[in-house]
Structure 1
Amino acid sequence: MYKHLIFLSVLFVLLLPACSYKGVPYFQDLNQNAPAKESISNFNPITIQPEDILGISVSSLNSEASSVFNYNLNTITGTAQNANNPVVGYLVDEKGQVQLPLIGSVKVSGLTISGVREKIQQQLTEYLKQPVVNVRLLNFKVSVMGDVLRPGVYPVTNQRISIPEAITLAGDLNITALRSNIILIREQEGNREYIPIDLTSKKLFNSPYYYLKTNDILYIQPGKNKYASVDNSYRNISILLSALSIVVILLTR
């Protein structure tokens, strides 16, 4: 009986998952003994999609005419804006269009931010003297969920964010996270993609998915040892059982 108890206690200890350092470091195939340099060829500017919200401000020599773009109220959120830097939110409809004063419907879906700016500015020259248009994507956000310090939805203000930057915003991966099995979930043009990402390889830097897009979701899968590493009481209980088994054997001899 006692032999069975000892065997079960030892087996329980052995079966507890252990954290392996091998899977912890990022970009393991990166040469850390010498500097390296490579060109960036995988960045593509964000393209506008239906349901995006564009912040558009217009100025011109016709200050009264251009003011119709810059009233001091955000039409999407209903919150007051800074009068010195007014930005109005225009929702891109299901047809990929925005409705603007003076020029009416403008097809923006599929265009980059600079493409939208140039298109609107060109059409406004018919109504305004030397118009200057600024465009910003107001609802650019990414989500990080799973085994990170601070899972959540993070707004992006500079119109460009990479996977490492998004993970850093979330406080980095926990030690128990699977760095080689991250899932990027992306929706665009009516399709949803599930893309595996490996943070242990420097190949990520040249991946077409290195830079995130609006509404991207990063899911960080926890390893099998998640709960054992968070709650060491499991291992402590098994060790205690083993010790008690030995004590019982010694006392009954």
Structure 2
Amino acid sequence: MKLYKTFTSIIAFLLLTSCSVFEKNRSEQNELAYMKNIEDVAIEVSKKQYVNLLQPGDRLIILVSAQDQDVVKVFNQNYSATEQFRESSVPRGNIISNSQPINGPTYIIDGDGFIDFPVLGKIEAAGMSLDHLKQYITSSLKRYIKEPYVQARITNYRITVLGEVRNPGQFTIADGTATVLNAIGMAGDLTIYGKRDDILIVRNVNGLISKERIDLTDAGFIDSPYYFLKQGDIIYVTPNKTQERLAKRDPNSALYISIASIVVTIIALIVRK
């Protein structure tokens, strides 16, 4: 009987410990909800429009086509069948795509902001949006081609998402426009251990590193200049106190407690018989 009481006391202690940890974790997880004022956020996001501008170092695929394919050959020099990119739409791996690949010549915007386009010569692409560049090239080609059609994509527009997200990694975006929410969505959303009110964004602009922390629980974050991402941005989701505490102790402690509880229960039942 004495042994049974001892086992019963151990079980009670383990259960109380487990409940205490569970309640603490649950109370902290209740603080994890973000975009609490989702209606305000949705309205404001729908109003905002942003166009990302091309910059030196951007790598472009520009393909010219028309009914007469022989005429456009001269404008598609440096063509590489292995160089391709897909239009942006739905995440697939770490590249956002769901349509036919675009093959074509590649151009890198030089340090002065220019690309060297066949026949047309130097084009100052930096400072233009991708759509503006396509319109400019299309308009210029009308002197040489009847009804030219120009496709263009950025192939090296990448952002990196790290920290407490389900699928951290580097993501390539075809149309060159992404928001913090887009990036988090591509990374599979934050885990329950991510701090919604402490998202760090690191940005490199012409060699100058800047950092900004945004709070996803406040609709005001969409007014931040960091809401719309730029090429090379790094997003880091800070771990909350629960994750920090788990990292400091044995990550398998909860498992050990559960196993010990089961073993003690079995022994107690045997002794009682």
TM-score range, shorter chain: 0.7 to 0.9
Residue 198 of structure 1: CA displacement?
A: 0.8
Match of 2:33 among 18, 25, 34: 25
Matched, 1:130 2:130: no
Percent of residue pairs identical: 29
Deviations 1:172-231 (A, max 9, x none): 212122111111112234433211111112223444432322222101111233153462
C-alpha spacing 1:106/1:154, structure 2 compared with 1 (3 Å):
same
Deviations 1:51-70 (A, max 9, x none): 11111111235532312333
Deviations 1:6-43 (A, max 9, x none): xxxxxxx99xxx541343001123469xx974573432
Alignment of 1:164-179 (within 5 A): 164-179=181-196
Match of 1:120 in 2: 137
Q: Secondary structure at the match of 2:103?
A: coil
Residue 145 of structure 1: CA displacement?
A: 0.7
Unmatched 5+ stretches in structure 2:
1-17, 86-99, 261-273
Residue 129 of structure 1: CA displacement?
A: 3.2
Instruction: Kindly indicate which of the two structures has a greater share of residues assigned to helix.
Output: 2
Matched, 1:51 2:54: no
TM-score by length of 2: 0.68
Q: Secondary structure at the match of 1:69?
A: helix
Match of 1:191 in 2: 208
Match of 1:6 in 2: none
C-alpha spacing 1:172/1:85, structure 2 compared with 1 (3 Å):
closer
Q: CA RMSD in A?
A: 3.7
Unmatched 5+ stretches in structure 1:
1-12, 241-253
Question: Is the Cα contact below 8 Å between 1:72 and 1:80 reproduced in 2?
Answer: no
Cα distance in structure 2, aligned partners of 1:65 and 1:84: 22
Question: Is the Cα contact below 8 Å between 2:180 and 2:229 reproduced in 1?
Answer: yes
Amino acid at match of 1:49: Q
Match of 2:217 in 1: 200
| Equivalences, count | 223
C-alpha spacing 1:114/1:233, structure 2 compared with 1 (3 Å):
same
Cα distance in structure 2, aligned partners of 1:200 and 1:84: 38
Match of 1:79 in 2: 82
